[in-house]
């Protein structure tokens, strides 16, 4: 679906070359803290004049802040845009070879999964915090990383995902890139998948309920888990205030996908793990409401 048809597909039009070049110069001349502070000024104009982005974020914000009126929702939107801009600055800052204080939560969970066997690991990232920085931490596991993603028309954003020992698997390739991912897992490599993005019309999808809103997410990570008999390990990359001064890499407990009698997995097999993933997203939204970048969620009925 093109961006003109889908109001939630903002990544192809935000973060243009001119804006990225300006902030790169600002970071180089004045440092990361000044650049993160300047985002508050830029975000003010987005909050006032970017009606498309506000409309796309409103379903999430209305669900997260159900008592908020229109003016309060605009203020929440302003805070959301600030966090997203600062996340982009941090991603560029880290890609340029700079560092930030880092903390990890449940890092031993990921290490334990990798040490269980010589098979690979399925990591589930989300549009939360500075998710672009997730690969930087994964490199510390000293295994090749395969990133299964949707091709991004915005080359400035896509450049944040490029790095040594990282291989991009385009989900528009044959069989959605799943065969390449299966081979990578059998070689003992890491497969990293964006779990909460909107599934395209051409791929198999699942319905996930988050804060009373439904979104169609790809079934690929859950199918891989069942096909390769591996758990899924979610990872959230969170920014710490003030001015995104530190990063927390937060792993949660692995999620198992079980099938009966070794038959071909179906969507019903995936639902318990998907519901668990939705609860993790809701917990993050409660703790970090301005670091969940869910645009154009569709209102729907909760799944039973």
Condensed to tens digits (0 to 9), the pLDDT of residues 190-214 reads 999 999 988 888 788 899 999 998 9
* Per-residue pLDDT at 300: 42
* Per-residue pLDDT at 273: 94
CA gap 95, 92 in Å, rounded: 5
The residue written with tokens 């395209």 in the block is 200
DSSP string, 225-256: HHHHT--EEEEEEEEETTTT-EEEEEE---B-
Count of C-beta atoms within a 10 Å radius of residue 290: 20
Report CA-CA distances (Å) from 151 to 18, 105, 142, 159: 21, 30, 26, 12
Answer for the pair 230, 120: CB distance below 8 angstroms, yes or no: yes
* Per-residue pLDDT at 303: 37
Q: pLDDT per residue over 98-114, tens digit each?
A: 889 999 998 888 888 88
* Per-residue pLDDT at 64: 96
CA-angle at 256, arms to 252 and 259, nearest 5°: 165
Residues 6+ apart with CB under 8 A from 42: 85
Half-sphere exposure of 100 (CA within 13 A, CB side): 32
* Per-residue pLDDT at 167: 85
Answer for the pair 144, 190: CB distance below 8 angstroms, yes or no: yes
Count of C-beta atoms within a 10 Å radius of residue 124: 24
Query: What does the domain layout of the chain look like in residue ranges?
Result: 17-95, 102-291
Answer for the pair 193, 203: CB distance below 8 angstroms, yes or no: no
Give the residues across from 215 on adjacent strands: 208
Burial class (CB in 10 A: 0-12, 13-18, 19+), 154: middle
Q: pLDDT per residue over 57-91, tens digit each?
A: 999 999 999 999 999 999 999 999 999 999 989 98
* Per-residue pLDDT at 5: 39
pLDDT tens for the chain, residues 1 to 304: 333 334 444 544 555 667 778 888 899 899 999 999 999 999 999 899 999 999 999 999 999 999 999 999 999 999 999 999 999 899 888 888 888 999 999 888 888 888 776 789 999 999 999 988 888 788 888 888 998 876 654 444 555 555 567 888 887 776 778 899 999 999 999 999 999 988 888 788 899 999 998 999 999 999 999 989 899 999 999 999 888 999 999 999 999 988 776 678 888 889 999 999 999 999 999 999 999 998 864 444 333 3
- Pairing between strand 298-299 and 166-170? unpaired
The residue written with tokens 């079934």 in the block is 219
Answer for the pair 181, 202: CB distance below 8 angstroms, yes or no: no
């Amino acid at each position: 679906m093109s961006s003109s048809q889908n109001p939630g597909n903002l990544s192809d039009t935000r973060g243009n070359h001119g804006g990225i070049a300006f902030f790169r110069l600002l970071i180089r001349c004045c440092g990361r803290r000044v650049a993160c502070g300047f985002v508050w000024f830029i975000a003010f104009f987005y909050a006032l004049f970017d009606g498309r982005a506000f409309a796309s974020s409103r379903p999430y914000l209305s669900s997260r802040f159900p008592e908020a009126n229109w003016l309060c929702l605009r203020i929440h939107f302003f805070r959301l845009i600030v966090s997203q801009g600062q996340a982009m600055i941090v991603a560029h800052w880290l890609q340029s070879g700079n560092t930030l204080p880092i903390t990890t939560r449940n890092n031993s969970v990921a290490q334990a999964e990798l040490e269980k066997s010589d098979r690979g690991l399925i990591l589930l990232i989300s549009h939360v915090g500075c998710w672009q920085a997730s690969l930087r931490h994964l490199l510390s596991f000293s295994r090749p990383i395969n990133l299964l993603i949707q091709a991004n028309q915005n080359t400035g954003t896509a450049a944040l995902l490029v790095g040594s020992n990282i291989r991009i698997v385009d989900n528009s390739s044959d069989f959605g890139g799943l065969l390449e991912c299966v081979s990578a897992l059998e070689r003992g490599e890491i497969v990293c998948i964006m779990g909460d993005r909107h599934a395209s019309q051409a791929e198999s999808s699942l319905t996930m309920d988050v804060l009373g809103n439904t979104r169609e997410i790809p079934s690929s990570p859950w199918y891989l888990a069942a096909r390769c008999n591996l758990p899924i390990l979610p990872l959230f990359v969170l920014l710490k205030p003030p001015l995104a001064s530190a990063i927390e890499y937060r792993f949660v407990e692995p999620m198992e996908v079980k099938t009966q009698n070794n038959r071909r997995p179906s969507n019903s097999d995936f639902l318990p793990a998907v519901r668990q993933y939705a609860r993790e997203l809701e917990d993050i939204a409660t703790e970090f409401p301005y670091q969940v970048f869910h645009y154009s969620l569709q209102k729907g009925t909760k799944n039973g």
